[in-house]
Amino acid sequence: MGPLGSTSLRILAVAAVYYGAAQVGLLHQLVRDQVTPLWPPTGVALAALLMMGLRVWPGIALGAFLVNVVLGPSLIAVLAITAGNTLAPVCACLMLRRAGFRNELDRLRDVLALVFLGALAGMLISSTIGSGVLVLSGALDAGDFWPTWSVWWTGDAMGILVVTPFLLVLRKARWPLRAGPGRWLEAVALALGTVFVTLLATRTPNSNLLFLVSPVLIWAAFRFRLAGAAPCALVVSWLAILAADGGRGPFVGEGVFANMVTLQAFNGTTALTALLLAAVITERDRTHEEIQRVCARLAEMVARMEPRPESREYPPEKRPPP
């Protein structure tokens, strides 16, 4: 298969994954059956661009069109929303590449770039175009622009912060052949503990126990770095969205706006805590390894410079007696 055929398959694969992720995101829509607190397709789109290059952008456009053609008020509005949903991750990818972003997310600067350039800045495009099109087409009242815009923007941004790191980690995931039984038991305990603690924090009635998830995120970041932090952040965020959608735990008896503020603040804090801790610890480990290598080289150089005992020459006055 030639390069053109390989690129075409990648474009179709991106479109299919984008469409599937959108269907999952639409299960928890809040505004006009298409604006959700977590929009996974944006995370899929940015991850695809970072891993495969800008040449797969038609897959994002195709997937966005197939999703919105059923939801949009008119064909022109659907095309405009599709353009915004495609342009946002493309611009985010370009900004990240310009900033020297690395897909490994093993530096603090990479995490900060993903947050500020990829999520917060890049997703301004899709939220502004999408909300504006809905208002101009008459699908929304003018007074609903800013509430819709805020939900759209935070939903797209959360897709970047939660889904993109998970996919970048998944691409590099390898079966740990040297992991012993203890390591496997710890990984299983972390997974089960994450689900249990999050369910406890988000389902306990008449209480706000969301802070309980912080120790789990710290555990994941310290022991498993990004490979543990990214999946844990995804699981915690998704379970919190399910609780907010069902009005459980800390989301009982509150309006949509209040629940959105609580939910997005919690999800944003969760993602930032996991990613930043993992990056800082990875940088610390790399610095420690570099210091060890430098010390080993210095010790080797000193050993080479030290004269051997048999080659020592003593001055006449200090020669040993015969």
Please report, for the domain that includes residue 4, its CATH number: 1.10.1760
Domain boundary among 113, 142, 172: 172
Domain annotation covers residue 7: yes
Rounded to whole angstroms, the Cα distance separating 292 from 182 reads: 27
Mean pLDDT of the chain: 88
How many structural domains does the chain have? 2
Q: Which pLDDT score, from 0 to 100, does residue 66 have?
A: 95
pLDDT value, residue 321 = 59
**Residue 64, in any domain of the structure:** yes
Label residue 215 by pLDDT band (50, 70, 90). very high
| pTM for this entry | 0.88
- What's the sign of the alpha-carbon dihedral 205, 207, 212, 217? positive
pLDDT beyond 90 at 151: no
- Both 158 and 289 in a single domain? no
Angstrom CA distances, 40 to 173, 256, 308, stand at: 20, 20, 66
pLDDT of 27: 83
* 45 shares its domain with 154: yes
Same domain, 78 and 162: yes
Query: Three-state SS across 90-136?
Result: HHHHHHHHHCCCCCCCCCHHHHHHHHHHHHHHCHHHHHHHHHHHHHH
| Spatial separation of the C-alpha atoms in residues 119 and 127, rounded to whole Å | 12
88 within 8 A of 157, measured Cβ to Cβ: no
- Residue 35's beta-bridge partner residues? 31
Average pLDDT over residues 144-166: 92
* CA pair distance 230, 293, nearest whole angstrom: 30
Residues 218 and 149 in one domain: no
Q: How far is the C-alpha of 31 from the C-alpha of 141, rounded, in Å?
A: 12
Expressed as residue numbers, the domain containing 5 is 1-172
The answer, yes or no, to whether residue 63 has pLDDT greater than 70, is yes
Least confident span in 188-202, 246-260, 266-280, 300-314: 300-314
Cβ atoms of residues 121 and 14 within 8 Å = no
- Comparing 18-32, 71-85, 229-243, 279-293, which segment has the lowest mean pLDDT? 18-32
Residue 318 lies in a domain: no
Cα dihedral 188/245/126/51 (nearest 10): 10
- Shared domain for 3 and 104, answered yes or no, is yes
| Residues 90-139: tens digit of each pLDDT | 999 999 999 999 999 989 999 999 999 999 999 999 999 999 999 998 88
pLDDT score recorded for residue 128: 96
